[in-house]
Structure 1
Amino acid sequence: MVRGPGGVVLERVLDDVGDVNVFFRVRAAPLDGGWEPVSGWARASGRERLAAEVHRVRGQLGALAGGGAEDVEWRVGASLFHQGLASRMLSPVLAAALCHGAGLRADLLAYQPGRSGPLALGTAQTRAVVLGEDVAAVAAWLEETVVEGVLARVEEALTGLGRISPGLLRGNTGSALAGAARALGAARRDRRADAEAVVRALLERPCLAGTGSYTGVDGAGRATLRRTTCCLYYRVPGGGLCGDCALRRSPGAR
Protein backbone atom coordinates (compact mmCIF):
# COMPACT_ATOMS: atom_id res chain seq x y z
CA MET A 1 0.00 0.00 0.00
CA VAL A 2 1.18 3.52 -0.84
CA ARG A 3 0.11 6.53 1.19
CA GLY A 4 0.70 10.15 0.34
CA PRO A 5 -0.65 13.61 1.11
CA GLY A 6 -3.83 12.76 -0.79
CA GLY A 7 -4.49 9.51 1.05
CA VAL A 8 -4.11 5.86 0.02
CA VAL A 9 -3.40 5.02 -3.63
CA LEU A 10 -6.52 3.01 -4.32
CA GLU A 11 -5.55 1.14 -7.50
CA ARG A 12 -3.00 -1.00 -5.66
CA VAL A 13 -5.44 -1.67 -2.86
CA LEU A 14 -8.12 -2.88 -5.27
CA ASP A 15 -5.64 -5.04 -7.17
CA ASP A 16 -4.86 -6.78 -3.90
CA VAL A 17 -8.34 -7.28 -2.47
CA GLY A 18 -9.74 -8.27 -5.86
CA ASP A 19 -7.80 -11.53 -5.57
CA VAL A 20 -10.15 -12.78 -2.84
CA ASN A 21 -13.00 -13.60 -5.25
CA VAL A 22 -15.18 -11.95 -7.89
CA PHE A 23 -17.32 -10.11 -5.31
CA PHE A 24 -14.25 -8.20 -4.12
CA ARG A 25 -13.25 -6.97 -7.58
CA VAL A 26 -13.66 -3.32 -8.50
CA ARG A 27 -12.17 -1.86 -11.66
CA ALA A 28 -9.94 1.06 -10.73
CA ALA A 29 -9.57 3.22 -13.83
CA PRO A 30 -11.02 6.33 -15.45
CA LEU A 31 -14.55 5.33 -16.43
CA ASP A 32 -15.84 6.05 -19.93
CA GLY A 33 -19.35 7.03 -20.95
CA GLY A 34 -20.61 3.47 -20.63
CA TRP A 35 -20.56 3.65 -16.83
CA GLU A 36 -23.19 5.10 -14.51
CA PRO A 37 -23.19 5.56 -10.72
CA VAL A 38 -24.92 2.85 -8.70
CA SER A 39 -26.31 5.64 -6.53
CA GLY A 40 -28.33 6.77 -9.55
CA TRP A 41 -30.77 3.91 -8.98
CA ALA A 42 -32.05 5.75 -5.91
CA ARG A 43 -33.11 8.81 -7.91
CA ALA A 44 -36.47 9.04 -9.62
CA SER A 45 -34.68 9.31 -12.96
CA GLY A 46 -32.89 6.02 -12.25
CA ARG A 47 -35.90 3.88 -11.40
CA GLU A 48 -36.21 2.59 -14.98
CA ARG A 49 -32.58 1.44 -14.84
CA LEU A 50 -33.22 -0.25 -11.51
CA ALA A 51 -36.29 -2.02 -12.85
CA ALA A 52 -34.22 -3.24 -15.79
CA GLU A 53 -31.63 -4.72 -13.40
CA VAL A 54 -34.33 -6.64 -11.53
CA HIS A 55 -35.75 -7.90 -14.83
CA ARG A 56 -32.27 -8.98 -15.90
CA VAL A 57 -31.86 -11.05 -12.73
CA ARG A 58 -35.30 -12.60 -13.17
CA GLY A 59 -34.33 -13.60 -16.70
CA GLN A 60 -31.05 -15.13 -15.54
CA LEU A 61 -32.76 -17.11 -12.79
CA GLY A 62 -35.56 -18.25 -15.07
CA ALA A 63 -33.10 -19.37 -17.73
CA LEU A 64 -31.35 -21.65 -15.26
CA ALA A 65 -34.57 -23.65 -15.06
CA GLY A 66 -35.19 -23.54 -18.80
CA GLY A 67 -37.71 -20.70 -18.63
CA GLY A 68 -37.74 -16.94 -18.65
CA ALA A 69 -38.20 -13.87 -16.49
CA GLU A 70 -41.93 -14.48 -16.27
CA ASP A 71 -41.25 -17.69 -14.33
CA VAL A 72 -39.62 -15.77 -11.46
CA GLU A 73 -41.71 -13.54 -9.18
CA TRP A 74 -40.77 -9.86 -9.20
CA ARG A 75 -40.06 -9.80 -5.46
CA VAL A 76 -37.75 -12.81 -5.80
CA GLY A 77 -35.79 -11.13 -8.58
CA ALA A 78 -35.65 -7.88 -6.59
CA SER A 79 -34.39 -9.66 -3.47
CA LEU A 80 -31.67 -11.61 -5.24
CA PHE A 81 -30.57 -8.59 -7.26
CA HIS A 82 -30.27 -6.68 -4.00
CA GLN A 83 -28.36 -9.44 -2.25
CA GLY A 84 -25.88 -9.64 -5.12
CA LEU A 85 -25.45 -5.87 -5.11
CA ALA A 86 -24.93 -5.85 -1.34
CA SER A 87 -22.21 -8.50 -1.65
CA ARG A 88 -20.43 -6.63 -4.43
CA MET A 89 -20.45 -3.38 -2.47
CA LEU A 90 -19.72 -4.62 1.04
CA SER A 91 -16.95 -7.04 0.08
CA PRO A 92 -14.42 -4.61 -1.42
CA VAL A 93 -15.23 -1.83 1.06
CA LEU A 94 -14.70 -4.23 3.98
CA ALA A 95 -11.46 -5.64 2.57
CA ALA A 96 -9.98 -2.28 1.58
CA ALA A 97 -10.64 -0.97 5.08
CA LEU A 98 -9.48 -3.99 7.07
CA CYS A 99 -6.48 -4.95 4.96
CA HIS A 100 -5.22 -1.49 4.01
CA GLY A 101 -6.97 1.10 6.17
CA ALA A 102 -8.41 2.58 2.97
CA GLY A 103 -11.84 4.18 2.72
CA LEU A 104 -13.37 3.00 -0.56
CA ARG A 105 -16.44 5.17 -1.20
CA ALA A 106 -19.61 3.30 -2.10
CA ASP A 107 -21.22 6.45 -3.52
CA LEU A 108 -18.54 6.54 -6.24
CA LEU A 109 -19.04 2.95 -7.39
CA ALA A 110 -20.38 2.61 -10.92
CA TYR A 111 -21.74 -0.08 -13.25
CA GLN A 112 -22.36 -0.60 -16.98
CA PRO A 113 -26.07 -0.68 -17.91
CA GLY A 114 -25.37 -2.05 -21.38
CA ARG A 115 -23.18 -4.96 -20.28
CA SER A 116 -23.75 -8.48 -21.53
CA GLY A 117 -22.49 -10.29 -18.42
CA PRO A 118 -23.13 -10.15 -14.67
CA LEU A 119 -22.99 -6.99 -12.59
CA ALA A 120 -19.46 -5.67 -12.12
CA LEU A 121 -18.41 -2.47 -10.40
CA GLY A 122 -15.80 0.16 -11.16
CA THR A 123 -14.70 3.43 -9.63
CA ALA A 124 -12.98 6.59 -10.74
CA GLN A 125 -11.82 7.16 -7.15
CA THR A 126 -8.03 7.18 -7.20
CA ARG A 127 -7.18 7.94 -3.58
CA ALA A 128 -8.92 6.95 -0.38
CA VAL A 129 -9.05 8.52 3.04
CA VAL A 130 -6.97 6.75 5.67
CA LEU A 131 -9.23 5.05 8.21
CA GLY A 132 -8.34 4.01 11.72
CA GLU A 133 -7.27 0.38 11.70
CA ASP A 134 -9.51 -0.69 14.58
CA VAL A 135 -12.74 -2.65 14.19
CA ALA A 136 -14.92 0.25 15.37
CA ALA A 137 -13.58 2.58 12.67
CA VAL A 138 -14.12 0.00 9.92
CA ALA A 139 -17.65 -0.77 11.13
CA ALA A 140 -18.48 2.94 11.22
CA TRP A 141 -17.21 3.39 7.65
CA LEU A 142 -19.25 0.44 6.35
CA GLU A 143 -22.34 1.74 8.10
CA GLU A 144 -21.90 5.26 6.73
CA THR A 145 -20.93 4.60 3.13
CA VAL A 146 -22.72 1.32 2.36
CA VAL A 147 -25.37 0.13 4.83
CA GLU A 148 -26.96 3.50 5.64
CA GLY A 149 -25.59 5.09 2.47
CA VAL A 150 -26.07 3.75 -1.05
CA LEU A 151 -27.71 0.45 -0.09
CA ALA A 152 -30.33 2.10 2.11
CA ARG A 153 -31.35 4.37 -0.76
CA VAL A 154 -31.48 1.50 -3.25
CA GLU A 155 -33.63 -0.46 -0.78
CA GLU A 156 -36.03 2.46 -0.57
CA ALA A 157 -36.18 2.63 -4.36
CA LEU A 158 -36.92 -1.11 -4.63
CA THR A 159 -39.79 -0.90 -2.16
CA GLY A 160 -41.15 1.92 -4.32
CA LEU A 161 -41.02 -0.23 -7.45
CA GLY A 162 -42.88 -3.26 -6.13
CA ARG A 163 -44.06 -5.23 -3.15
CA ILE A 164 -41.07 -6.34 -1.13
CA SER A 165 -40.33 -6.15 2.59
CA PRO A 166 -37.76 -3.59 3.74
CA GLY A 167 -36.86 -6.04 6.52
CA LEU A 168 -36.10 -8.76 3.99
CA LEU A 169 -33.80 -6.40 2.11
CA ARG A 170 -32.01 -5.35 5.27
CA GLY A 171 -31.64 -9.04 6.13
CA ASN A 172 -29.96 -9.51 2.77
CA THR A 173 -27.48 -6.80 3.75
CA GLY A 174 -26.62 -8.54 7.02
CA SER A 175 -26.22 -11.86 5.22
CA ALA A 176 -24.04 -10.30 2.52
CA LEU A 177 -21.83 -8.67 5.15
CA ALA A 178 -21.33 -11.97 6.97
CA GLY A 179 -20.59 -13.67 3.66
CA ALA A 180 -18.00 -11.03 2.80
CA ALA A 181 -16.31 -11.47 6.18
CA ARG A 182 -16.33 -15.24 5.75
CA ALA A 183 -14.71 -15.07 2.31
CA LEU A 184 -12.14 -12.52 3.45
CA GLY A 185 -11.30 -14.57 6.53
CA ALA A 186 -10.79 -17.69 4.43
CA ALA A 187 -8.44 -15.90 2.04
CA ARG A 188 -6.64 -13.77 4.64
CA ARG A 189 -6.53 -15.81 7.82
CA ASP A 190 -4.88 -12.98 9.76
CA ARG A 191 -7.98 -10.83 9.14
CA ARG A 192 -10.62 -13.41 10.07
CA ALA A 193 -11.11 -12.36 13.69
CA ASP A 194 -11.34 -8.66 12.83
CA ALA A 195 -13.71 -9.32 9.91
CA GLU A 196 -16.06 -11.28 12.16
CA ALA A 197 -15.78 -8.59 14.84
CA VAL A 198 -16.93 -5.99 12.28
CA VAL A 199 -19.98 -8.14 11.52
CA ARG A 200 -20.80 -8.51 15.21
CA ALA A 201 -20.44 -4.77 15.74
CA LEU A 202 -22.82 -3.91 12.90
CA LEU A 203 -25.37 -6.58 13.85
CA GLU A 204 -25.62 -4.85 17.21
CA ARG A 205 -26.20 -1.40 15.71
CA PRO A 206 -29.68 -0.13 14.80
CA CYS A 207 -28.88 -0.36 11.08
CA LEU A 208 -28.72 -4.19 11.16
CA ALA A 209 -30.17 -5.07 14.56
CA GLY A 210 -32.55 -8.02 14.37
CA THR A 211 -31.36 -9.23 10.95
CA GLY A 212 -29.38 -12.18 12.28
CA SER A 213 -26.62 -13.31 14.61
CA TYR A 214 -23.63 -15.59 14.78
CA THR A 215 -24.74 -18.91 16.25
CA GLY A 216 -21.52 -20.94 16.32
CA VAL A 217 -18.58 -21.99 14.17
CA ASP A 218 -18.11 -24.47 11.36
CA GLY A 219 -15.51 -27.22 11.09
CA ALA A 220 -12.88 -24.70 9.98
CA GLY A 221 -13.54 -22.46 12.97
CA ARG A 222 -15.35 -19.78 10.96
CA ALA A 223 -18.34 -18.05 12.52
CA THR A 224 -21.72 -19.09 11.10
CA LEU A 225 -24.65 -16.72 10.73
CA ARG A 226 -28.35 -17.48 11.06
CA ARG A 227 -30.48 -14.71 9.60
CA THR A 228 -34.02 -13.94 10.73
CA THR A 229 -35.46 -13.55 7.22
CA CYS A 230 -35.30 -15.42 3.92
CA CYS A 231 -33.95 -14.06 0.62
CA LEU A 232 -36.65 -16.06 -1.25
CA TYR A 233 -34.20 -18.12 -3.29
CA TYR A 234 -36.29 -21.19 -2.48
CA ARG A 235 -39.02 -19.70 -4.70
CA VAL A 236 -36.78 -19.81 -7.77
CA PRO A 237 -37.59 -22.85 -9.95
CA GLY A 238 -35.18 -25.51 -8.75
CA GLY A 239 -33.94 -23.33 -5.89
CA GLY A 240 -33.50 -24.26 -2.24
CA LEU A 241 -32.59 -22.83 1.14
CA CYS A 242 -29.34 -20.95 1.71
CA GLY A 243 -27.03 -22.03 4.51
CA ASP A 244 -27.97 -19.10 6.77
CA CYS A 245 -31.70 -19.09 6.00
CA ALA A 246 -34.20 -18.53 8.80
CA LEU A 247 -36.33 -21.33 7.34
CA ARG A 248 -33.66 -23.93 8.03
CA ARG A 249 -34.20 -26.05 11.08
CA SER A 250 -31.69 -25.72 13.85
CA PRO A 251 -29.57 -28.83 14.50
CA GLY A 252 -31.69 -31.33 16.34
CA ALA A 253 -34.97 -29.56 15.57
CA ARG A 254 -37.99 -31.62 14.60
Structure 2
Amino acid sequence: MLERVLEDVGGVNTFFRVGRAPLGEGWEPVTAWDGRTEAGRERVAVEVDRVRAQLGAVSGVGAQDVEWRVGASLFHQGLASRLLSPVLAAGLCHGVRLRADLFVHEPGRSGSLELRTRQTRATPMSREPVEVAAWVEETVVGGVLAHVEEALSGIGRVSTGLLRGDTGAALAGAARALGGARGEQRAHAEEVVRVLTDRPCLRGTGAYVGVDRAGLAVFRRTTCCLYYRLPGGGLCGDCALRHPPTTRSR
Protein backbone atom coordinates (compact mmCIF):
# COMPACT_ATOMS: atom_id res chain seq x y z
CA MET A 1 0.00 0.00 0.00
CA LEU A 2 2.80 2.45 0.78
CA GLU A 3 4.15 2.09 -2.75
CA ARG A 4 0.75 3.09 -4.17
CA VAL A 5 0.59 6.12 -1.88
CA LEU A 6 4.06 7.30 -2.91
CA GLU A 7 3.28 6.75 -6.58
CA ASP A 8 0.05 8.71 -6.33
CA VAL A 9 1.32 11.73 -4.43
CA GLY A 10 4.49 11.79 -6.51
CA GLY A 11 2.33 12.55 -9.52
CA VAL A 12 1.53 16.05 -8.25
CA ASN A 13 5.00 17.42 -9.11
CA THR A 14 8.70 16.83 -8.43
CA PHE A 15 8.56 18.17 -4.87
CA PHE A 16 6.07 15.43 -3.91
CA ARG A 17 8.20 12.53 -5.12
CA VAL A 18 9.73 10.07 -2.67
CA GLY A 19 11.20 6.82 -3.95
CA ARG A 20 11.07 3.33 -2.48
CA ALA A 21 13.63 1.68 -4.76
CA PRO A 22 16.27 -0.54 -3.10
CA LEU A 23 18.98 1.63 -1.55
CA GLY A 24 22.56 1.31 -2.69
CA GLU A 25 25.70 2.51 -0.97
CA GLY A 26 26.09 6.15 -0.05
CA TRP A 27 22.56 7.02 1.02
CA GLU A 28 22.21 8.89 4.33
CA PRO A 29 19.20 9.76 6.51
CA VAL A 30 18.10 13.40 6.40
CA THR A 31 18.34 13.32 10.18
CA ALA A 32 22.14 13.46 9.71
CA TRP A 33 21.60 17.19 8.97
CA ASP A 34 21.55 17.84 12.69
CA GLY A 35 22.74 21.09 14.20
CA ARG A 36 23.25 19.46 17.59
CA THR A 37 26.37 17.64 16.35
CA GLU A 38 29.55 18.85 14.67
CA ALA A 39 29.21 16.18 11.98
CA GLY A 40 25.66 17.33 11.30
CA ARG A 41 26.74 20.95 10.94
CA GLU A 42 29.50 19.92 8.56
CA ARG A 43 27.02 18.01 6.40
CA VAL A 44 24.70 21.01 6.27
CA ALA A 45 27.60 23.29 5.31
CA VAL A 46 28.39 20.98 2.38
CA GLU A 47 24.79 21.21 1.18
CA VAL A 48 24.79 25.00 1.41
CA ASP A 49 28.02 25.19 -0.61
CA ARG A 50 26.43 22.91 -3.21
CA VAL A 51 23.46 25.28 -3.50
CA ARG A 52 25.77 28.30 -3.70
CA ALA A 53 27.60 26.67 -6.61
CA GLN A 54 24.31 25.94 -8.38
CA LEU A 55 23.02 29.46 -7.82
CA GLY A 56 26.30 30.93 -8.98
CA ALA A 57 26.23 28.90 -12.17
CA VAL A 58 22.68 30.03 -12.94
CA SER A 59 23.56 33.65 -12.16
CA GLY A 60 26.78 33.61 -14.16
CA VAL A 61 29.06 34.14 -11.17
CA GLY A 62 31.20 31.96 -8.94
CA ALA A 63 30.00 30.21 -5.82
CA GLN A 64 32.09 32.63 -3.77
CA ASP A 65 30.00 35.50 -5.11
CA VAL A 66 26.81 34.03 -3.61
CA GLU A 67 26.41 35.08 0.02
CA TRP A 68 26.46 32.17 2.44
CA ARG A 69 23.20 33.17 4.07
CA VAL A 70 21.50 33.35 0.65
CA GLY A 71 22.62 29.81 -0.11
CA ALA A 72 21.54 28.73 3.38
CA SER A 73 18.08 30.24 3.00
CA LEU A 74 17.44 28.76 -0.43
CA PHE A 75 18.79 25.34 0.58
CA HIS A 76 16.44 25.39 3.56
CA GLN A 77 13.42 26.49 1.56
CA GLY A 78 14.03 23.85 -1.09
CA LEU A 79 14.48 21.16 1.54
CA ALA A 80 11.32 22.29 3.35
CA SER A 81 9.35 21.95 0.12
CA ARG A 82 10.71 18.46 -0.50
CA LEU A 83 9.86 17.30 3.04
CA LEU A 84 6.51 19.02 3.52
CA SER A 85 4.93 18.24 0.15
CA PRO A 86 4.76 14.43 0.30
CA VAL A 87 3.95 14.36 4.02
CA LEU A 88 1.06 16.79 3.50
CA ALA A 89 -0.31 14.93 0.47
CA ALA A 90 -0.03 11.46 1.99
CA GLY A 91 -1.94 12.62 5.05
CA LEU A 92 -4.74 14.45 3.25
CA CYS A 93 -5.16 12.22 0.22
CA HIS A 94 -4.61 8.80 1.78
CA GLY A 95 -4.73 9.14 5.55
CA VAL A 96 -1.15 7.83 5.81
CA ARG A 97 1.67 9.08 8.02
CA LEU A 98 4.91 9.56 6.08
CA ARG A 99 7.81 9.83 8.51
CA ALA A 100 10.24 12.53 7.46
CA ASP A 101 12.87 11.09 9.79
CA LEU A 102 12.97 7.98 7.59
CA PHE A 103 13.72 9.90 4.40
CA VAL A 104 17.21 9.45 2.95
CA HIS A 105 19.29 11.29 0.36
CA GLU A 106 22.51 10.76 -1.57
CA PRO A 107 25.23 13.19 -0.40
CA GLY A 108 27.47 12.43 -3.38
CA ARG A 109 24.82 13.21 -5.98
CA SER A 110 25.67 15.36 -8.98
CA GLY A 111 22.14 16.54 -9.65
CA SER A 112 19.20 17.84 -7.64
CA LEU A 113 18.09 16.45 -4.29
CA GLU A 114 16.24 13.13 -4.50
CA LEU A 115 14.51 11.63 -1.50
CA ARG A 116 13.77 8.00 -0.80
CA THR A 117 12.29 6.42 2.29
CA ARG A 118 13.17 3.55 4.56
CA GLN A 119 9.57 3.41 5.74
CA THR A 120 7.99 0.05 4.96
CA ARG A 121 4.44 0.34 6.31
CA ALA A 122 1.60 2.74 5.59
CA THR A 123 0.67 3.83 9.10
CA PRO A 124 -2.94 5.13 9.09
CA MET A 125 -4.01 8.51 10.43
CA SER A 126 -7.04 10.81 10.30
CA ARG A 127 -7.38 12.92 7.16
CA GLU A 128 -8.81 15.83 9.15
CA PRO A 129 -6.74 18.98 8.53
CA VAL A 130 -6.08 19.54 12.23
CA GLU A 131 -4.70 16.01 12.60
CA VAL A 132 -2.62 16.28 9.43
CA ALA A 133 -1.27 19.63 10.63
CA ALA A 134 -0.23 18.06 13.93
CA TRP A 135 1.65 15.31 12.11
CA VAL A 136 3.33 17.76 9.71
CA GLU A 137 4.46 19.78 12.71
CA GLU A 138 5.77 16.73 14.56
CA THR A 139 7.67 14.97 11.80
CA VAL A 140 8.80 17.92 9.62
CA VAL A 141 8.56 21.40 11.17
CA GLY A 142 9.50 20.45 14.70
CA GLY A 143 11.52 17.42 13.62
CA VAL A 144 13.94 17.33 10.69
CA LEU A 145 13.68 21.03 9.80
CA ALA A 146 14.17 22.22 13.37
CA HIS A 147 17.56 20.49 13.52
CA VAL A 148 18.57 21.84 10.10
CA GLU A 149 17.62 25.35 11.24
CA GLU A 150 19.77 24.91 14.33
CA ALA A 151 22.71 23.99 12.12
CA LEU A 152 22.23 26.92 9.74
CA SER A 153 21.82 29.43 12.54
CA GLY A 154 24.91 28.10 14.29
CA ILE A 155 27.15 28.00 11.22
CA GLY A 156 26.27 31.24 9.52
CA ARG A 157 24.15 33.16 12.01
CA VAL A 158 21.14 33.00 9.69
CA SER A 159 18.04 34.37 11.37
CA THR A 160 15.72 31.69 12.73
CA GLY A 161 12.81 33.93 11.80
CA LEU A 162 13.94 34.00 8.18
CA LEU A 163 14.27 30.21 8.13
CA ARG A 164 10.85 29.71 9.67
CA GLY A 165 9.51 32.12 7.07
CA ASP A 166 10.99 29.85 4.40
CA THR A 167 9.17 26.92 5.99
CA GLY A 168 5.86 28.78 6.08
CA ALA A 169 6.24 29.76 2.43
CA ALA A 170 7.18 26.19 1.48
CA LEU A 171 4.11 24.83 3.27
CA ALA A 172 1.85 27.32 1.52
CA GLY A 173 3.47 26.40 -1.80
CA ALA A 174 2.89 22.71 -1.16
CA ALA A 175 -0.75 23.36 -0.28
CA ARG A 176 -1.22 25.45 -3.42
CA ALA A 177 0.33 22.78 -5.65
CA LEU A 178 -1.76 20.04 -4.07
CA GLY A 179 -4.94 22.11 -4.27
CA GLY A 180 -4.27 22.92 -7.90
CA ALA A 181 -3.66 19.31 -8.87
CA ARG A 182 -6.30 17.73 -6.62
CA GLY A 183 -9.15 20.19 -6.37
CA GLU A 184 -11.00 18.13 -3.80
CA GLN A 185 -8.10 18.67 -1.40
CA ARG A 186 -7.76 22.43 -1.89
CA ALA A 187 -9.77 23.57 1.13
CA HIS A 188 -8.22 20.97 3.42
CA ALA A 189 -4.67 21.78 2.30
CA GLU A 190 -5.24 25.49 2.89
CA GLU A 191 -6.72 24.74 6.30
CA VAL A 192 -3.52 22.92 7.27
CA VAL A 193 -1.62 26.10 6.44
CA ARG A 194 -4.00 28.19 8.53
CA VAL A 195 -3.72 25.82 11.47
CA LEU A 196 0.07 25.76 11.46
CA THR A 197 0.53 29.49 10.94
CA ASP A 198 -1.67 29.96 14.01
CA ARG A 199 0.59 27.72 16.09
CA PRO A 200 3.84 28.84 17.74
CA CYS A 201 5.93 26.80 15.30
CA LEU A 202 5.02 29.01 12.31
CA ARG A 203 3.13 31.91 13.86
CA GLY A 204 4.08 35.22 12.30
CA THR A 205 5.61 33.70 9.16
CA GLY A 206 2.75 34.73 6.88
CA ALA A 207 -0.96 34.42 6.17
CA TYR A 208 -3.54 34.12 3.44
CA VAL A 209 -4.71 37.46 2.11
CA GLY A 210 -7.40 36.45 -0.40
CA VAL A 211 -7.82 34.24 -3.46
CA ASP A 212 -6.65 34.42 -7.05
CA ARG A 213 -8.66 33.99 -10.25
CA ALA A 214 -8.33 30.23 -9.99
CA GLY A 215 -9.86 30.25 -6.54
CA LEU A 216 -6.60 29.29 -4.82
CA ALA A 217 -5.67 31.10 -1.61
CA VAL A 218 -2.89 33.69 -1.91
CA PHE A 219 -0.20 33.53 0.77
CA ARG A 220 1.97 36.46 1.83
CA ARG A 221 5.03 35.86 3.97
CA THR A 222 6.42 38.34 6.48
CA THR A 223 10.08 37.75 5.63
CA CYS A 224 12.24 37.45 2.52
CA CYS A 225 14.15 34.37 1.34
CA LEU A 226 16.99 36.66 0.09
CA TYR A 227 16.73 35.50 -3.53
CA TYR A 228 16.83 39.15 -4.57
CA ARG A 229 20.45 39.34 -3.36
CA LEU A 230 21.59 37.06 -6.19
CA PRO A 231 23.00 38.75 -9.28
CA GLY A 232 19.97 39.22 -11.51
CA GLY A 233 17.65 37.96 -8.79
CA GLY A 234 14.26 39.49 -8.03
CA LEU A 235 11.45 39.31 -5.53
CA CYS A 236 9.23 36.25 -5.20
CA GLY A 237 5.48 36.62 -5.55
CA ASP A 238 4.82 36.12 -1.85
CA CYS A 239 7.72 38.26 -0.60
CA ALA A 240 7.25 40.72 2.24
CA LEU A 241 9.39 43.24 0.34
CA ARG A 242 6.95 43.20 -2.57
CA HIS A 243 3.78 43.63 -0.53
CA PRO A 244 3.08 46.06 2.33
CA PRO A 245 1.63 44.70 5.59
CA THR A 246 -2.01 43.77 5.24
CA THR A 247 -4.87 42.56 7.39
CA ARG A 248 -4.92 38.82 7.83
CA SER A 249 -7.57 36.96 5.86
CA ARG A 250 -9.03 33.69 7.04
Q: What letter is aligned with 1:215?
A: V
Runs of 4+ in 1 over 2 A off after TM superposition: none
Please tell me the residue identity of whatever aligns with 1:181: A
Question: Within 5 A, what are the aligned runs for 1:117-136?
Answer: 117-136=111-130
Residue 165 (structure 1) aligned with residue 159 (structure 2): yes
TM-score by length of structure 2 reads 0.95
Question: 1:108 matched to which residue of 2?
Answer: 102
**Matched residue, 2:231:** 237
Whether the 8 Å contact between 2:40 and 2:151 is mirrored in structure 1 is no
- Which residue identity is paired with 1:172? D
* Cα deviation code 1:221-254 (max 9, x no counterpart): 1001110000000001111000100001359xxx
Could you tell me which residue of structure 2 aligns to residue 6 of structure 1?
none
Code of the residue aligned with 1:214 in structure 2: it is Y
What is the CA–CA distance in structure 1 between the aligned matches of 2:243 and 2:97, rounded to whole Å? 39
Partner of 2:248: none
1:215 corresponds to 2:209: yes
Displacement of 1:30 after TM fit? 3.1
2:48 counterpart residue number: 54
Distance 1:190 1:235 in 2: 38
CA root-mean-square deviation? 1.3
**Alignment deviations for residues 201-223 of structure 1 (CA, whole Å, 9 cap, x no partner):** 10101100000000011110100
Structure 2 residue identity aligned to 1:86: A
Q: Of residues 57, 66, 74 in structure 2, which corresponds to 1:72? A: 66
The aligned residue for residue 24 of structure 2 is: 32
SS for the counterpart of 1:96 is helix
Q: Counterparts of 2:185 and 2:179 in 1: how far apart (Å)?
A: 6
**Which residue matches 2:6?**
14
Asked whether 1:204 is paired with 2:226, we answer: no
Counterpart in the other structure of 2:135:
141
Q: Secondary structure at the match of 1:28?
A: coil
Does the Cα contact within 8 Å between 2:30 and 2:103 map onto a contact in 1?
A: yes
Distance 1:175 1:112 in 2: 25
Letter in 2 for 1:203: T
Give the 3-state SS of the residue equivalent to 1:12 in structure 2: helix
What is the percent sequence identity of the aligned residues?
71
Q: Secondary structure at the match of 2:3?
A: helix
Greater CA drift, 89-98 or 23-32? 23-32
Structure 1 distance, partners of 2:104, 2:7, is: 17
Inter-partner Cα distance in structure 1 for 2:240 and 2:196: 19
| TM-score (ref. length: structure 1) | 0.94
Q: In proportion to residue count, which structure has more strand?
A: 1
Q: Which runs of 5+ in 2 are unaligned?
A: 246-250
Aligned length: 244
Structure 1 alignment gaps of length 5 or more: 1-8
Q: Contact conserved, 2:95 with 2:125, CA < 8 A, in 1?
A: yes
| In structure 2, C-alpha distance between the alignment counterparts of 1:90 and 1:65, rounded to whole Å | 27
**Secondary structure in 1 aligned to 2:101?**
helix
Distance 1:62 1:246 in 2: 24
**Mean alpha-carbon deviation: is it higher for 223-232 or for 123-132?**
123-132
